[in-house]
Amino acid sequence: MIPKVDKNICEGIGACAESCPTEVIDIGEDDNGALKAIIARPDDCVECGNCVDACPTEAITLE
């Protein structure tokens, strides 16, 4: 499994990136300049679920 971000829900708060023990997630701008979570290093994911639990808008799922 790897984390999947729903860009329509993500507000780029960064709680997921801060919660991740292996720095899988970066926060960056999309084409419209809006901050979004980016799954930058999916191979480093250890499937702990911290990012899913940390997101206040439930924008991340593990799939």
Query: What value, to the nearest 5°, has the Cα angle with vertex 34 and ends 32 and 38?
Result: 105
φ, ψ (nearest 5 deg) of residue 35: -70, 135
Q: One symbol per residue from 4 to 43: x for binding ligand SF4 (CB under 6 A), - otherwise; what is it? A: ---------------xxxx-xx------------------
Structure tokens at 11: 């507000």
Query: Can you tell me which of 15, 45, 55, 59 binds ligand SF4, judged by CB under 6 A?
Result: 45
The reply on whether position 59 binds ligand SF4 by CB under 6 A is: no
52 contacts 30 by C-beta, under 8 angstroms:
no
> What residue ranges bind ligand SF4 (CB under 6 A)?
3, 19-22, 24-25, 45-51, 62
